Structure 1
Amino acid sequence: MPRVSRKQAELNREIIVEAATRLFRERGVHGISVIDVMAAAGLTHGGFYGHFESKEALAQEASSRAFQQSADRWKDWIAANEDKNAARQALIKPYLSAASRDNPGESCPVAAFAGDMCHEAAESGLRQTFMGGLDSLLGTFAPLMDTGDDERDRQQALVQFSLMVGALTLARATRGEPLSDEILDAARSFLTAP
């Protein structure tokens, strides 16, 4: 069988990472096998180890990519608004939407990976990637609190983001039930109230 070109190998790696990023958000890091990822990428299982030394290495890269995608999306939403409160609401409303609930492969990596991180060792690369991504998102969210005090802004961001992640997680767990929409509506209303 002929070897693929360097350009094709780079493209294949990108396809694998994108497939893993989506799948890990949809089903969790530990709920996906290498075979699942390669099938979603449209590639054979045997080619995986030519790109990654382990599933954990792929999970770490895919997790990092998911956090970067979220950070980029958040920055775009913030930039599209004139004041901090409008920007904060521009993050909250889509985060706590039916579309976010129903499309976990495109949604928040914190909600997607938090359950898996409960089982990761503190020193694991995947957990460190999660912690860095979470801290980055909190660092983007905190200045939108605009209390005039950095520590208070951080505390408000922690509370509000925890509510957002919890509400999204519960809405996903109850998807298909009226309670799911109630959870999203209640959290969104609470967080965007004047």
Structure 2
Amino acid sequence: MKVTREKAAAHRAAIVKAAADLFRARGLGGVGVAEIMQAAGLTHGGFYGHFKSKDALAAEACTEAFTEGLQRVAADSDLANYVARYFTKAHRDRHDGGCPMVALGSEIAHQEKDVQAKFADGIAAYLAGIEDLLRRSDDGTDPVAQRAQAIATVATLVGGMILARATAETKPELSAEILETLPRVITH
């Protein structure tokens, strides 16, 4: 039976969304094509009708993951609100839909160039989103200084969340301290 273009597009979107969630939950190497297709509600055999390889899917999944994050950035009125929402226990404990830089950042250098390029595009877009939040909060800052502040902010967000996740199980008090301290550091 022939699938309509609309249905094929919906299938592809479901595959990309499932991959974005599963990759963030277990890493790029921790999930197979069959599991991604099952999570998308499709059969394994249909994968290659949509993607030439798992790497091609990983590249699109990176874009999807960053798009979700950028929507959260754009929804906030200022940097302080965004940072407060980022450094929560819910985000720390959510591994299937959280920040792609936290979940996948250390793996990207070992991936194919297309995956690296899509991830780098996502970082660039995320930095631009943080710069926009900074502009909304402070109209008088020099653009060069805003860019530097955006880079430092993103590095602190990502590094802080990595540390909070790494200590959550064995040193929960340290994890909580990280989540409580960094919003004050970033916004002051």
- The TM-score with structure 1 as length reference comes to 0.86
List runs of 5+ in structure 1 lacking aligned partners. 82-86
> Aligned pair 1:191/2:182, yes or no?
no
Deviation of the 1:130 alpha carbon: 0.9
Size of the aligned set, in residue pairs, is 182
* Residue identity opposite 2:95 in structure 1: P
Q: Does 1:108 align with 2:96?
A: no
Q: Does the 8 Å contact 2:87/2:179 carry over to 1?
A: yes
Q: Unpaired segments of 5 or more residues in structure 2?
A: none
Q: How does 1:9-20 map to 2 (within 5 A)?
A: 9-20=8-19
Runs of 4+, deviation exceeding 6 Å: none
Q: Distance in 1 between matches of 2:129 and 2:13?
A: 27
**How big is the shift at 1:55?**
0.4
RMSD (Å) for aligned C-alpha atoms: 1.8
Please give the residue correspondences for 1:171-186 in structure 2 after superposition, counting only pairs within 5 Å: 171-176=164-169, 177-186=172-181
Distance 2:145 2:29 in 1: 36
Counterpart of 1:98 (choices 65, 89, 97) is 89
**Matches of 1:35 and 1:21, distance apart in 2:** 14
Shift of 1:68: 1.3
Determine the C-alpha separation between the residues in 2 that align with 1:6 and 1:142: 38
In the TM superposition, residue 6 of structure 1 has moved relative to its aligned partner by 3.5
Tell me the equivalent position of 1:126: 115
- The residue number in structure 1 matching 2:20 is 21
- For 2:4 and 2:147, how far apart are their aligned partners in 1? 48
Instruction: Specify whether residues 6 and 148 from structure 1 end up closer, same or farther in structure 2 by C-alpha distance, changes over 3 A only.
Output: closer
Deviation at 1:3, TM superposition (A): 4.2
The letter for the 1-side match of 2:60 is E
Rounded Cα–Cα distance in structure 1 between residues aligned with 2:44 and 2:167: 34
Q: Deviations over 1:81-121 (max 9, x none)?
A: 3xxxxx01111011111111111322211112211113235
1:39 matched residue in structure 2: 38
Over the matched positions of the two proteins, sequence identity in percent amounts to 38
Could you state the TM-score of these two structures normalised by the residue count of structure 2? 0.88
Write the mapping of 1:155-166 to structure 2, written as runs, cut at 5 A: 155-166=148-159
Distance in 2 (alpha carbons) for counterparts of 1:151 and 1:118: 27
Show the counterpart of 2:79.
88
Within 2, Cα distance between the matches of 1:163 and 1:125? 26
1:9, distance to aligned residue in structure 2 (A):
2.4
